[in-house]
Amino acid sequence: MSVWELLMKYKKIVLVGFGILAFFVFVGCFSAKEVQSSSYGEKKPRAINLEDVYIMRAYTALDLQDLKGAEENFYKAYEISQDYKYLKEIVGLKVIHKSYAEAREIALKYLKKYPKDEDMQQALIGIYSSQKDFKNALINAKKLLAQNPSAQNLEIVSSVYFLQQDYKNAVEFLQKAYHKSYSPILLDKLASIYVLFLNDRQKAISYYEMHLRSRGFDEGIAKRLAILYLEQKQYMLAAKVYERAYVKTNKEEYIKAVLQIYFELKDINLAQKFIEKYPNMPKQEEMLLDIYRYQKDHQKVIAMLQKLFKKTGNYDYLAQEAIYLYESGKKDKKSLKIISQKLETSLEYLDNALYANYLGYLLIDHSIDIKTGMDYVQRALKIEPNNVYYLDSLAWGFYKLKDCQNAKEIMEKIPAEERQKEQEIKEHYEVILKCKIKGI
């Protein structure tokens, strides 16, 4: 625990007393004997206990965030009872107010009576550190450590050294604290000092690696190790850590992290192997589909689209399958019939301009059913009226019907720069320009 955490901890010691319930638990103003006498037999008047009154007022003040009022009432309770436990509360409140000199004097007074009280010793170290009296902070921290060489007290010594910017000694004691507890929190602090103050990323990496090997998987440690690997450009090691994190947690964020690394490395084969390795990976088929598309492996794309359509009933996959069948060279009469049927079926369920135009152009270009093809293109243009590809398809339909005038008029709607930019549109335009009679 660092010095600053000590201060927050001591603050919590005070604040935990908020409320009436905490008052009964902490102060214990009703003993079992008092409960018994008030529950059975003759009721007897009881003298007012001023200590109880002041304690009640103190905790009520805490509930109201009146820290000054709380301190005054704790002090009055102490004056009546001379019970040192109230000094603990007062020290905590002084620290919150940053009245460090007064807090120190009360803490020293308390420790004269209870020299082995670790909470107050830790609070005193925090007070000295807040006053930048690191000499006394270190003396008391080492005294506490000699009394109890716990991981917490080793961390306190480390924190005092850290505040003095003595990072070498801070690391030495933090290492000892970590090896006593193997706490991931202490490990993070140790690694942070190596990275931020000693400029030794490799040492931080070594500690993280050792922890994951010897203490088992820890998600936070794995994340930070992967980040350090990425900073050191050790991309494959980072990918392995993220893959292990996915196996342990099943979180999709780690799938994305692994794939991002492989895509950055432009190693699609590794990405494919990673996805194929885990059959229960969420959206495995969709991700493999993207991989196959990137690889331009039409046969695998078609097979995966068929699988996805069968699995989901999503007609988008059926339409995509038809397009890939056509793009893969299936242009014989039988194949064209199958492809057009798949697109027609999909368009019964989908209102998709791209698919409507694709089917329309296929029917037009292969002279299967030009008028029906033009109807599909018109359907696409209702959705996207200025799409140059759809206008080209419609113009080509008119041309196929030997209607040169309408073909030219439609083509003129396409901006000149667009006609020149797209090779197929350019070729269609040049052919249509040569069309002078209603006949080819």
d(CA 389, CA 322): 19
pLDDT confidence of residue 307: 97
Q: Which of 57-66, 185-194, 345-354 is predicted with the least confidence, judged by mean pLDDT?
A: 57-66
Locate 176 and state its tokens: 């000892």
d(CA 97, CA 122): 18
On whether the CB atoms of residues 211 and 184 are closer than 8 A, the answer is: yes
Q: pLDDT at residue 249 above 90?
A: yes
d(CA 263, CA 257): 10
- Look-up of token digits 């399958």: 321
Q: pLDDT at residue 282 above 60?
A: yes
Q: pLDDT at residue 31 above 70?
A: no
Among the listed residues 288, 237, 235, 289, the one whose alpha carbon sits nearest the alpha carbon of residue 262: 235
Q: pLDDT at residue 45 above 70?
A: no
| 380: β partners | none
Model-level pTM? 0.72
Q: Which of 93-97, 312-316, 334-338 is predicted with the least confidence, judged by mean pLDDT?
A: 93-97
pLDDT confidence of residue 51: 81
d(CA 2, CA 8): 10
pLDDT tens-digit series, residues 364-396:
999 999 999 999 999 999 999 999 999 999 999
Alpha helices (H) in 182-267, listed in sequence order: 184-196, 201-214, 219-231, 235-249, 252-264
pLDDT band at 437 (very low <50, low <70, confident <90, very high): low
Residues 6+ apart with CB under 8 A from 390: 353, 357, 377, 380, 381, 384
pLDDT confidence of residue 80: 85
